[in-house]
Amino acid sequence: MPTLVSKEYCTGCTACYNSCARNAIQMQLDEEGFLFPIVDSSLCVECGLCESSCPEMSLTKKNDSPSEVYAFWSNKDREVSSSGGAFSAFARFVLQKGGVVFGAMLDEEFMCRHIGIREESELAKLRGSKYFQSRLDVCYQEIKTLLKNGEYVLFSGTPCQVAGLKNFLRKEYDTLLLIDIVCHGVPSSSVFSSYSQKIANRYGNFENLTFRRLNGWGYKTSITIDGVPKYLYAEDDLFMEAFMKSSLLRESCYTCKYATTTRVSDCTIADFWGIGRHGKSFSHSTLKGVSLVLVNTKKGNDVFGQLQDVFVEKRTIEEALFGNPHLFRPSVRHEKRTEIIKAFLDQRKSLHDINQEFEIVNMSFKARMKRLSDRLGLFSLFKTIYNFYKKVIKNEKTYSIHF
Ligand SMILES: Cc1cc2nc3c(=O)[nH]c(=O)nc-3n(C[C@H](O)[C@H](O)[C@H](O)COP(=O)(O)OP(=O)(O)OC[C@H]3O[C@@H](n4cnc5c(N)ncnc54)[C@H](O)[C@@H]3O)c2cc1C
Ligand code: SF4
Ligand code: SF4
Ligand code: SF4
Protein backbone atom coordinates (compact mmCIF):
# COMPACT_ATOMS: atom_id res chain seq x y z
CA MET A 1 0.00 0.00 0.00
CA PRO A 2 1.33 3.48 -0.79
CA THR A 3 1.96 5.89 2.06
CA LEU A 4 0.45 9.21 1.09
CA VAL A 5 1.16 12.45 2.91
CA SER A 6 -0.57 12.84 6.30
CA LYS A 7 -3.99 14.49 6.49
CA GLU A 8 -2.54 17.62 8.07
CA TYR A 9 -0.44 18.36 4.97
CA CYS A 10 -2.65 16.99 2.17
CA THR A 11 -3.95 19.90 0.08
CA GLY A 12 -6.52 17.76 -1.77
CA CYS A 13 -4.85 18.61 -5.08
CA THR A 14 -5.88 15.25 -6.68
CA ALA A 15 -2.48 14.57 -8.32
CA CYS A 16 -2.43 11.09 -6.69
CA TYR A 17 -6.04 10.37 -7.67
CA ASN A 18 -5.46 11.46 -11.28
CA SER A 19 -2.22 9.40 -11.48
CA CYS A 20 -3.66 6.06 -10.50
CA ALA A 21 -4.37 4.04 -13.62
CA ARG A 22 -5.96 1.27 -11.53
CA ASN A 23 -8.68 3.54 -10.09
CA ALA A 24 -7.51 2.45 -6.67
CA ILE A 25 -7.83 5.99 -5.26
CA GLN A 26 -11.07 7.81 -4.54
CA MET A 27 -11.36 11.37 -3.24
CA GLN A 28 -13.71 11.22 -0.23
CA LEU A 29 -15.18 13.91 1.98
CA ASP A 30 -14.09 13.93 5.62
CA GLU A 31 -16.35 15.06 8.48
CA GLU A 32 -15.45 18.73 7.82
CA GLY A 33 -16.28 18.44 4.11
CA PHE A 34 -12.73 18.41 2.68
CA LEU A 35 -11.75 15.87 0.03
CA PHE A 36 -8.95 13.39 0.85
CA PRO A 37 -7.60 10.42 -1.13
CA ILE A 38 -8.55 6.95 0.09
CA VAL A 39 -6.68 3.94 -1.33
CA ASP A 40 -8.50 0.68 -2.03
CA SER A 41 -5.83 -1.94 -1.27
CA SER A 42 -7.65 -4.61 -3.29
CA LEU A 43 -7.09 -2.58 -6.50
CA CYS A 44 -3.61 -1.22 -5.72
CA VAL A 45 -0.60 -2.80 -7.50
CA GLU A 46 1.94 -0.75 -5.52
CA CYS A 47 3.38 1.01 -8.57
CA GLY A 48 4.22 4.11 -6.44
CA LEU A 49 2.96 6.61 -9.03
CA CYS A 50 0.62 8.31 -6.58
CA GLU A 51 3.46 8.91 -4.11
CA SER A 52 5.82 10.31 -6.72
CA SER A 53 3.18 12.69 -8.11
CA CYS A 54 2.24 14.13 -4.72
CA PRO A 55 3.65 17.70 -4.52
CA GLU A 56 3.76 17.44 -0.74
CA MET A 57 6.10 14.42 -0.99
CA SER A 58 8.09 15.26 -4.15
CA LEU A 59 8.48 19.01 -4.11
CA THR A 60 7.29 20.89 -7.20
CA LYS A 61 9.95 23.04 -8.83
CA LYS A 62 9.49 26.77 -8.21
CA ASN A 63 10.97 29.60 -10.26
CA ASP A 64 14.33 30.61 -8.81
CA SER A 65 14.84 34.12 -10.20
CA PRO A 66 12.86 37.06 -8.70
CA SER A 67 9.53 37.82 -10.38
CA GLU A 68 8.72 41.08 -12.16
CA VAL A 69 5.97 42.99 -10.34
CA TYR A 70 3.19 44.89 -12.14
CA ALA A 71 0.04 46.85 -11.37
CA PHE A 72 -2.43 45.78 -14.00
CA TRP A 73 -5.95 46.04 -15.25
CA SER A 74 -7.78 44.86 -18.29
CA ASN A 75 -9.97 47.67 -19.66
CA LYS A 76 -12.73 45.27 -20.77
CA ASP A 77 -12.79 43.17 -17.62
CA ARG A 78 -12.07 45.46 -14.68
CA GLU A 79 -15.74 46.15 -13.88
CA VAL A 80 -16.79 42.50 -14.03
CA SER A 81 -13.86 40.95 -12.13
CA SER A 82 -12.68 40.61 -8.53
CA SER A 83 -9.81 43.07 -8.86
CA GLY A 84 -8.32 44.29 -12.15
CA GLY A 85 -9.49 41.48 -14.42
CA ALA A 86 -6.01 40.00 -14.94
CA PHE A 87 -7.34 36.48 -15.21
CA SER A 88 -9.71 37.43 -18.05
CA ALA A 89 -6.92 39.12 -20.04
CA PHE A 90 -4.80 35.94 -19.92
CA ALA A 91 -7.86 33.78 -20.63
CA ARG A 92 -8.87 35.83 -23.67
CA PHE A 93 -5.33 35.54 -25.07
CA VAL A 94 -5.50 31.73 -24.89
CA LEU A 95 -9.10 31.50 -26.17
CA GLN A 96 -8.18 33.66 -29.16
CA LYS A 97 -5.43 31.17 -29.98
CA GLY A 98 -8.13 28.44 -30.05
CA GLY A 99 -7.02 27.06 -26.68
CA VAL A 100 -8.87 25.80 -23.60
CA VAL A 101 -9.06 27.75 -20.32
CA PHE A 102 -9.51 25.90 -17.02
CA GLY A 103 -10.83 27.77 -13.99
CA ALA A 104 -13.31 27.54 -11.13
CA MET A 105 -17.06 28.02 -11.55
CA LEU A 106 -20.09 27.81 -9.22
CA ASP A 107 -22.66 25.34 -10.59
CA GLU A 108 -26.45 25.36 -10.08
CA GLU A 109 -26.05 23.51 -6.77
CA PHE A 110 -23.47 26.07 -5.58
CA MET A 111 -20.65 23.53 -5.87
CA CYS A 112 -17.35 25.05 -6.93
CA ARG A 113 -15.70 23.00 -9.66
CA HIS A 114 -12.98 23.45 -12.26
CA ILE A 115 -14.11 23.28 -15.87
CA GLY A 116 -12.47 23.90 -19.24
CA ILE A 117 -13.99 26.45 -21.64
CA ARG A 118 -13.29 27.19 -25.30
CA GLU A 119 -15.55 30.20 -25.92
CA GLU A 120 -15.22 33.79 -24.74
CA SER A 121 -18.97 33.76 -24.06
CA GLU A 122 -18.31 31.27 -21.22
CA LEU A 123 -15.65 33.39 -19.53
CA ALA A 124 -18.15 34.94 -17.09
CA LYS A 125 -18.56 31.53 -15.41
CA LEU A 126 -14.90 31.52 -14.37
CA ARG A 127 -14.63 35.17 -13.39
CA GLY A 128 -14.91 36.14 -9.75
CA SER A 129 -13.41 34.53 -6.64
CA LYS A 130 -15.28 31.67 -5.03
CA TYR A 131 -13.89 31.50 -1.52
CA PHE A 132 -13.98 27.75 -0.93
CA GLN A 133 -12.17 24.75 -2.38
CA SER A 134 -13.01 23.85 -5.97
CA ARG A 135 -13.35 20.21 -7.10
CA LEU A 136 -10.84 19.23 -9.76
CA ASP A 137 -12.12 15.68 -10.45
CA VAL A 138 -10.31 14.44 -13.60
CA CYS A 139 -9.21 17.88 -14.88
CA TYR A 140 -5.51 16.95 -14.80
CA GLN A 141 -6.15 13.95 -17.07
CA GLU A 142 -8.21 16.09 -19.48
CA ILE A 143 -5.41 18.67 -19.60
CA LYS A 144 -2.79 16.01 -20.33
CA THR A 145 -4.86 14.71 -23.26
CA LEU A 146 -5.28 18.24 -24.66
CA LEU A 147 -1.55 18.97 -24.34
CA LYS A 148 -0.60 15.69 -26.00
CA ASN A 149 -2.83 16.73 -28.91
CA GLY A 150 -0.81 19.95 -29.18
CA GLU A 151 -3.60 22.21 -27.90
CA TYR A 152 -2.96 25.48 -26.03
CA VAL A 153 -4.15 25.27 -22.39
CA LEU A 154 -4.41 27.80 -19.55
CA PHE A 155 -4.87 26.38 -16.07
CA SER A 156 -5.70 28.83 -13.29
CA GLY A 157 -6.17 27.91 -9.65
CA THR A 158 -4.66 27.94 -6.18
CA PRO A 159 -0.87 27.36 -6.04
CA CYS A 160 -1.32 23.84 -4.62
CA GLN A 161 -3.58 22.97 -7.56
CA VAL A 162 -0.97 24.29 -9.99
CA ALA A 163 1.74 22.31 -8.16
CA GLY A 164 -0.44 19.18 -8.33
CA LEU A 165 -0.90 19.58 -12.08
CA LYS A 166 2.85 20.08 -12.64
CA ASN A 167 3.73 16.99 -10.63
CA PHE A 168 1.04 14.96 -12.37
CA LEU A 169 2.29 15.99 -15.86
CA ARG A 170 5.96 15.34 -14.98
CA LYS A 171 7.19 17.28 -18.03
CA GLU A 172 7.08 20.80 -19.41
CA TYR A 173 4.71 21.63 -22.26
CA ASP A 174 5.30 24.75 -24.39
CA THR A 175 1.55 25.15 -24.89
CA LEU A 176 0.64 25.12 -21.18
CA LEU A 177 0.27 28.45 -19.35
CA LEU A 178 -0.03 28.25 -15.55
CA ILE A 179 -1.65 31.05 -13.53
CA ASP A 180 -1.95 30.87 -9.75
CA ILE A 181 -3.48 33.23 -7.22
CA VAL A 182 -1.97 34.55 -4.01
CA CYS A 183 -3.92 32.35 -1.62
CA HIS A 184 -5.38 32.98 1.84
CA GLY A 185 -6.63 29.37 2.05
CA VAL A 186 -9.82 27.45 1.34
CA PRO A 187 -12.89 26.50 3.41
CA SER A 188 -14.73 23.27 2.51
CA SER A 189 -17.66 22.98 0.14
CA SER A 190 -19.76 21.43 2.94
CA VAL A 191 -19.27 24.46 5.20
CA PHE A 192 -20.24 26.73 2.31
CA SER A 193 -23.36 24.58 1.52
CA SER A 194 -24.39 24.64 5.15
CA TYR A 195 -23.95 28.43 5.25
CA SER A 196 -26.02 28.90 2.08
CA GLN A 197 -28.73 26.68 3.59
CA LYS A 198 -28.82 28.95 6.66
CA ILE A 199 -29.18 31.97 4.35
CA ALA A 200 -31.96 30.20 2.42
CA ASN A 201 -33.73 29.38 5.73
CA ARG A 202 -33.78 33.09 6.43
CA TYR A 203 -34.48 34.65 3.03
CA GLY A 204 -35.86 31.79 0.93
CA ASN A 205 -34.19 30.21 -2.08
CA PHE A 206 -31.85 32.40 -4.09
CA GLU A 207 -30.52 32.09 -7.65
CA ASN A 208 -26.99 33.38 -7.38
CA LEU A 209 -24.30 34.27 -4.84
CA THR A 210 -21.18 36.39 -5.36
CA PHE A 211 -18.41 37.10 -2.88
CA ARG A 212 -16.97 40.22 -4.44
CA ARG A 213 -18.08 43.66 -5.52
CA LEU A 214 -17.38 43.28 -9.24
CA ASN A 215 -17.97 46.89 -10.36
CA GLY A 216 -15.83 48.22 -7.50
CA TRP A 217 -13.05 46.84 -5.34
CA GLY A 218 -13.63 44.92 -2.15
CA TYR A 219 -15.39 42.01 -0.54
CA LYS A 220 -19.19 42.06 -0.62
CA THR A 221 -21.32 38.97 -0.49
CA SER A 222 -24.61 39.28 -2.32
CA ILE A 223 -27.40 36.91 -3.29
CA THR A 224 -29.99 37.30 -6.04
CA ILE A 225 -33.65 36.60 -5.25
CA ASP A 226 -36.14 36.78 -8.16
CA GLY A 227 -33.55 38.70 -10.17
CA VAL A 228 -33.00 41.33 -7.45
CA PRO A 229 -29.55 41.50 -5.76
CA LYS A 230 -29.49 41.55 -1.96
CA TYR A 231 -26.31 42.44 -0.08
CA LEU A 232 -25.45 40.50 3.07
CA TYR A 233 -24.06 42.28 6.13
CA ALA A 234 -22.59 41.36 9.52
CA GLU A 235 -24.10 38.03 10.74
CA ASP A 236 -25.66 37.33 7.33
CA ASP A 237 -22.13 37.58 5.91
CA LEU A 238 -20.69 35.25 8.54
CA PHE A 239 -19.01 32.92 6.04
CA MET A 240 -16.75 35.70 4.71
CA GLU A 241 -16.25 37.17 8.20
CA ALA A 242 -15.06 33.73 9.39
CA PHE A 243 -12.98 33.18 6.22
CA MET A 244 -11.18 36.47 6.84
CA LYS A 245 -10.40 35.37 10.40
CA SER A 246 -8.84 32.16 9.04
CA SER A 247 -11.26 30.02 11.03
CA LEU A 248 -12.66 27.82 8.26
CA LEU A 249 -9.57 26.77 6.32
CA ARG A 250 -8.24 23.35 5.34
CA GLU A 251 -5.54 22.22 7.80
CA SER A 252 -2.85 22.24 5.07
CA CYS A 253 -3.48 25.96 4.48
CA TYR A 254 -1.97 26.87 7.87
CA THR A 255 1.38 25.38 6.85
CA CYS A 256 1.10 26.23 3.16
CA LYS A 257 4.49 26.09 1.48
CA TYR A 258 3.28 28.15 -1.49
CA ALA A 259 2.92 31.31 0.58
CA THR A 260 6.23 32.68 -0.72
CA THR A 261 7.53 34.99 -3.43
CA THR A 262 9.03 32.01 -5.25
CA ARG A 263 6.14 30.65 -7.30
CA VAL A 264 5.11 27.46 -9.09
CA SER A 265 3.30 29.20 -11.97
CA ASP A 266 4.21 31.29 -15.03
CA CYS A 267 2.26 34.27 -13.65
CA THR A 268 0.66 34.95 -10.28
CA ILE A 269 -2.42 37.15 -9.91
CA ALA A 270 -3.84 38.83 -6.81
CA ASP A 271 -5.45 41.99 -5.52
CA PHE A 272 -2.85 44.75 -5.40
CA TRP A 273 -3.87 45.78 -1.88
CA GLY A 274 -0.49 47.45 -1.27
CA ILE A 275 -0.51 49.69 -4.35
CA GLY A 276 0.90 53.12 -3.57
CA ARG A 277 1.56 52.17 0.05
CA HIS A 278 5.29 51.62 0.05
CA GLY A 279 6.99 54.82 -0.91
CA LYS A 280 6.02 54.84 -4.58
CA SER A 281 2.81 56.78 -5.19
CA PHE A 282 0.22 55.57 -7.68
CA SER A 283 -1.42 58.35 -9.66
CA HIS A 284 -4.52 56.55 -10.90
CA SER A 285 -7.84 55.82 -9.24
CA THR A 286 -8.00 52.38 -7.67
CA LEU A 287 -11.76 52.45 -7.02
CA LYS A 288 -12.54 49.83 -9.67
CA GLY A 289 -9.76 47.47 -8.63
CA VAL A 290 -6.11 46.86 -9.46
CA SER A 291 -4.58 43.46 -10.07
CA LEU A 292 -1.14 42.52 -8.89
CA VAL A 293 0.63 40.41 -11.51
CA LEU A 294 3.90 38.64 -10.76
CA VAL A 295 5.59 37.49 -13.93
CA ASN A 296 7.59 34.45 -12.88
CA THR A 297 8.93 32.77 -16.02
CA LYS A 298 10.08 33.58 -19.54
CA LYS A 299 6.92 31.98 -20.93
CA GLY A 300 4.84 34.14 -18.58
CA ASN A 301 6.72 37.22 -19.73
CA ASP A 302 6.17 36.42 -23.43
CA VAL A 303 2.41 36.08 -22.94
CA PHE A 304 2.18 39.08 -20.59
CA GLY A 305 3.79 41.29 -23.25
CA GLN A 306 1.10 40.30 -25.77
CA LEU A 307 -2.01 41.00 -23.65
CA GLN A 308 -4.36 43.44 -25.39
CA ASP A 309 -6.23 46.54 -24.19
CA VAL A 310 -4.61 46.61 -20.76
CA PHE A 311 -3.06 49.07 -18.31
CA VAL A 312 0.39 47.98 -17.06
CA GLU A 313 2.78 49.74 -14.66
CA LYS A 314 5.96 48.26 -13.19
CA ARG A 315 5.93 48.35 -9.39
CA THR A 316 8.08 47.11 -6.51
CA ILE A 317 8.02 43.81 -4.63
CA GLU A 318 7.90 45.76 -1.34
CA GLU A 319 4.50 47.17 -2.31
CA ALA A 320 3.27 43.70 -3.25
CA LEU A 321 4.40 42.32 0.12
CA PHE A 322 2.90 45.25 2.02
CA GLY A 323 -0.70 44.32 1.29
CA ASN A 324 -0.33 40.61 0.61
CA PRO A 325 1.00 38.68 3.63
CA HIS A 326 0.39 35.37 1.86
CA LEU A 327 3.36 36.14 -0.37
CA PHE A 328 5.53 35.45 2.68
CA ARG A 329 3.50 33.51 5.26
CA PRO A 330 0.45 31.23 5.48
CA SER A 331 -2.74 32.17 7.32
CA VAL A 332 -2.58 31.84 11.09
CA ARG A 333 -4.87 29.11 12.45
CA HIS A 334 -7.79 30.47 14.52
CA GLU A 335 -7.65 28.84 17.95
CA LYS A 336 -11.32 27.80 17.69
CA ARG A 337 -11.12 26.71 14.03
CA THR A 338 -12.44 23.18 14.58
CA GLU A 339 -15.31 24.28 16.82
CA ILE A 340 -16.32 27.05 14.37
CA ILE A 341 -16.40 24.62 11.44
CA LYS A 342 -18.53 22.23 13.52
CA ALA A 343 -20.93 25.05 14.37
CA PHE A 344 -21.28 26.07 10.70
CA LEU A 345 -22.05 22.44 9.79
CA ASP A 346 -24.70 22.13 12.51
CA GLN A 347 -28.04 22.94 10.87
CA ARG A 348 -29.65 23.52 14.27
CA LYS A 349 -27.43 26.57 14.78
CA SER A 350 -28.36 29.86 13.14
CA LEU A 351 -25.75 32.37 11.99
CA HIS A 352 -26.76 34.50 14.99
CA ASP A 353 -26.09 31.56 17.38
CA ILE A 354 -22.64 31.00 15.84
CA ASN A 355 -21.71 34.65 16.06
CA GLN A 356 -22.93 34.87 19.67
CA GLU A 357 -20.78 31.86 20.58
CA PHE A 358 -17.56 32.84 18.76
CA GLU A 359 -17.82 36.65 18.24
CA ILE A 360 -16.79 36.42 14.60
CA VAL A 361 -18.22 39.61 13.06
CA ASN A 362 -15.62 42.36 12.90
CA MET A 363 -16.86 45.15 15.19
CA SER A 364 -13.92 47.53 14.66
CA PHE A 365 -14.80 51.18 13.93
CA LYS A 366 -13.53 50.87 10.34
CA ALA A 367 -15.57 47.72 9.69
CA ARG A 368 -18.73 49.28 11.15
CA MET A 369 -18.23 52.45 9.06
CA LYS A 370 -17.76 50.33 5.97
CA ARG A 371 -20.98 48.41 6.62
CA LEU A 372 -22.89 51.63 7.27
CA SER A 373 -21.59 53.36 4.13
CA ASP A 374 -22.41 50.22 2.14
CA ARG A 375 -25.97 50.05 3.41
CA LEU A 376 -26.45 53.74 2.57
CA GLY A 377 -25.02 53.18 -0.91
CA LEU A 378 -22.13 55.54 -0.17
CA PHE A 379 -19.25 53.08 -0.37
CA SER A 380 -17.35 54.83 -3.20
CA LEU A 381 -17.83 58.24 -1.58
CA PHE A 382 -16.60 56.89 1.76
CA LYS A 383 -13.56 55.36 0.05
CA THR A 384 -12.74 58.63 -1.72
CA ILE A 385 -12.99 60.63 1.53
CA TYR A 386 -10.87 58.06 3.38
CA ASN A 387 -8.24 58.17 0.60
CA PHE A 388 -8.17 61.96 0.82
CA TYR A 389 -7.77 61.77 4.62
CA LYS A 390 -4.87 59.32 4.33
CA LYS A 391 -3.17 61.17 1.51
CA VAL A 392 -3.59 64.79 2.56
CA ILE A 393 -4.15 64.74 6.33
CA LYS A 394 -1.92 61.78 7.22
CA ASN A 395 0.42 62.45 4.29
CA GLU A 396 0.44 58.81 3.19
CA LYS A 397 1.48 58.31 -0.41
CA THR A 398 -1.62 56.41 -1.41
CA TYR A 399 -4.81 56.56 -3.36
CA SER A 400 -6.12 53.27 -2.16
CA ILE A 401 -7.91 51.82 0.84
CA HIS A 402 -8.70 48.24 1.53
CA PHE A 403 -10.83 46.36 3.96
C1 LIG B 1 -9.71 30.88 -2.15
C2 LIG B 1 -9.07 32.16 -2.64
C3 LIG B 1 -8.19 32.85 -1.80
C4 LIG B 1 -7.58 34.04 -2.24
N5 LIG B 1 -6.73 34.71 -1.43
C6 LIG B 1 -6.18 35.88 -1.83
C7 LIG B 1 -5.29 36.63 -1.01
O8 LIG B 1 -5.01 36.24 0.12
N9 LIG B 1 -4.75 37.78 -1.50
C10 LIG B 1 -5.07 38.24 -2.76
O11 LIG B 1 -4.59 39.30 -3.14
N12 LIG B 1 -5.89 37.55 -3.58
C13 LIG B 1 -6.44 36.39 -3.14
N14 LIG B 1 -7.27 35.69 -3.98
C15 LIG B 1 -7.38 36.12 -5.38
C16 LIG B 1 -8.36 37.25 -5.62
O17 LIG B 1 -9.58 37.01 -4.91
C18 LIG B 1 -8.71 37.37 -7.09
O19 LIG B 1 -9.19 36.12 -7.56
C20 LIG B 1 -7.53 37.71 -7.93
O21 LIG B 1 -7.11 38.99 -7.59
C22 LIG B 1 -7.87 37.65 -9.41
O23 LIG B 1 -8.73 38.65 -9.72
P24 LIG B 1 -9.08 38.95 -11.25
O25 LIG B 1 -9.85 40.22 -11.27
O26 LIG B 1 -7.85 38.84 -12.07
O27 LIG B 1 -9.89 37.71 -11.69
P28 LIG B 1 -11.32 37.10 -11.55
O29 LIG B 1 -12.10 37.33 -12.76
O30 LIG B 1 -11.95 37.41 -10.30
O31 LIG B 1 -10.88 35.56 -11.67
C32 LIG B 1 -10.89 34.68 -10.68
C33 LIG B 1 -9.85 33.61 -10.97
O34 LIG B 1 -9.69 32.87 -9.78
C35 LIG B 1 -10.00 31.51 -10.01
N36 LIG B 1 -10.75 31.01 -8.87
C37 LIG B 1 -11.88 31.52 -8.36
N38 LIG B 1 -12.29 30.79 -7.31
C39 LIG B 1 -11.39 29.79 -7.17
C40 LIG B 1 -11.27 28.69 -6.28
N41 LIG B 1 -12.16 28.46 -5.33
N42 LIG B 1 -10.21 27.86 -6.41
C43 LIG B 1 -9.30 28.05 -7.39
N44 LIG B 1 -9.37 29.08 -8.27
C45 LIG B 1 -10.40 29.92 -8.15
C46 LIG B 1 -10.85 31.47 -11.28
O47 LIG B 1 -10.66 30.25 -11.94
C48 LIG B 1 -10.24 32.62 -12.04
O49 LIG B 1 -9.06 32.19 -12.63
C50 LIG B 1 -7.88 34.52 -3.55
C51 LIG B 1 -8.79 33.82 -4.37
C52 LIG B 1 -9.38 32.65 -3.93
C53 LIG B 1 -10.31 31.92 -4.83
S1 SF4 C 1 0.55 2.66 -5.77
FE2 SF4 C 1 -0.10 2.72 -7.93
S3 SF4 C 1 -1.90 1.38 -8.01
FE4 SF4 C 1 -1.54 1.79 -5.85
S5 SF4 C 1 -2.85 3.52 -5.42
FE6 SF4 C 1 -0.85 4.35 -5.97
S7 SF4 C 1 -0.96 4.75 -8.16
FE8 SF4 C 1 -2.68 3.39 -7.63
S1 SF4 D 1 -1.27 14.29 -4.26
FE2 SF4 D 1 -2.48 15.96 -3.45
S3 SF4 D 1 -4.39 14.96 -2.81
FE4 SF4 D 1 -2.88 13.34 -3.07
S5 SF4 D 1 -1.99 13.06 -1.03
FE6 SF4 D 1 -0.69 14.51 -2.12
S7 SF4 D 1 -1.48 16.51 -1.52
FE8 SF4 D 1 -3.06 15.00 -1.01
S1 SF4 E 1 -3.38 28.17 1.27
FE2 SF4 E 1 -1.93 26.82 0.26
S3 SF4 E 1 -2.68 24.76 0.70
FE4 SF4 E 1 -4.39 26.16 1.11
S5 SF4 E 1 -5.52 26.23 -0.81
FE6 SF4 E 1 -4.09 27.92 -0.85
S7 SF4 E 1 -2.28 27.11 -1.90
FE8 SF4 E 1 -3.52 25.37 -1.28
The full set of domain ranges for the chain reads 68-186+249-327, 189-248+331-361, 373-403
Choice between 85 and 286, residue whose per-residue pLDDT is larger: 85
For range 290-296, the mean pLDDT: 96
Is the pLDDT confidence value at 380 over 70?
A: no
Catalogue the E-assigned strands of 89-187.
100-106, 112-117, 153-157, 176-181
Give the pLDDT confidence of 303-314 residue by residue, as tens digits.
999 999 999 999
Nearest-angstrom CA–CA distance, 201 and 349: 11
What percent of the chain is modeled with pLDDT above 70?
Answer: 93
Ligand 1 in contact with 84 (CB < 6 A)? yes
Catalogue the E-assigned strands of 25-159.
25-29, 35-39, 68-74, 100-106, 112-117, 153-157
Tell me which ligand sits closest to the C-alpha of residue 13: 3
pLDDT-derived band at 372, boundaries 50, 70, 90: confident
What percent of the chain is modeled with pLDDT above 90?
Answer: 74
Task: Specify the pLDDT at position 181.
Answer: 97
Ligand 2 in contact with 44 (CB < 6 A)? yes
Distance 32 CA to ligand 3 centre (A): 17
Nearest-angstrom CA–CA distance, 181 and 227: 31
Task: Specify the pLDDT at position 363.
Answer: 81
Is the pLDDT confidence value at 120 over 60?
A: yes
- Report the chain's mean pLDDT, rounded to a whole number: 91
Residue type, 157: G
Ligand 2 in contact with 49 (CB < 6 A)? yes
Pairing of strands 219-225, 228-231: antiparallel
Specify the residue with its C-alpha closest to ligand 4, atom 4: 253
Ligand 2 in contact with 50 (CB < 6 A)? yes
Specify the residue with its C-alpha closest to ligand 3, atom 6: 54
Task: Specify the pLDDT at position 94.
Answer: 98
Q: Where are the alpha helices (DSSP H) in 149-262?
A: 159-169, 189-203, 238-244
Nearest-angstrom CA–CA distance, 220 and 77: 18
Is the pLDDT confidence value at 195 over 80?
A: yes
Distance 360 CA to ligand 2 centre (A): 43
Nearest-angstrom CA–CA distance, 144 and 165: 9
Task: Specify the pLDDT at position 374.
Answer: 74
Distance 16 CA to ligand 2 centre (A): 8
Q: What is the rounded end-to-end Cα distance, in angstroms, of the chain?
A: 48
Task: Specify the pLDDT at position 402.
Answer: 37
Cβ 128 vs Cβ 210: under 8 Å: yes
Q: What is the pTM of this model?
A: 0.94
Distance 307 CA to ligand 3 centre (A): 34
Give the pLDDT confidence of 22-58 residue by residue, as tens digits.
999 999 999 999 999 999 999 999 999 999 999 999 8
Residue type, 94: V
Please state the length of the chain: 403
Specify the residue with its C-alpha closest to ligand 3, atom 2: 13
Cβ 313 vs Cβ 73: under 8 Å: no
Q: Is 193 helix (H, G, I), strand (E, B) or coil?
A: helix
Task: Specify the pLDDT at position 218.
Answer: 73
Is the pLDDT confidence value at 1 over 50?
A: yes
Distance 74 CA to ligand 4 centre (A): 26
Task: Specify the pLDDT at position 403.
Answer: 30
Is the pLDDT confidence value at 320 over 80?
A: yes
For range 95-124, the mean pLDDT: 96
Ligand 2 in contact with 345 (CB < 6 A)? no
Distance 157 CA to ligand 4 centre (A): 10
What angle, 0 to 180 degrees and rounded to 10, lies between the N-to-C axes of helices 159-169 and 139-148?
50
Give the pLDDT confidence of 342-368 residue by residue, as tens digits.
999 999 999 999 999 999 998 888 778
Give the pLDDT confidence of 132-168 residue by residue, as tens digits.
999 999 999 999 999 999 999 999 999 999 999 999 9
Cβ 101 vs Cβ 156: under 8 Å: yes
Domain spanning 68-186+249-327, CATH architecture: 3-Layer(aba) Sandwich (3.40)
The residues near 364 (Cβ < 8 Å, ≥ 6 apart) are: none
Is the pLDDT confidence value at 288 over 70?
A: yes
For range 115-137, the mean pLDDT: 96
Distance 49 CA to ligand 1 centre (A): 30
Cβ 153 vs Cβ 107: under 8 Å: no
Is the pLDDT confidence value at 382 over 80?
A: no
Which of 56, 57, 138 is the best mutation target for the ligand 3 pocket, counting ligand atoms within 8 Å of the beta carbon and taking the most?
A: 56
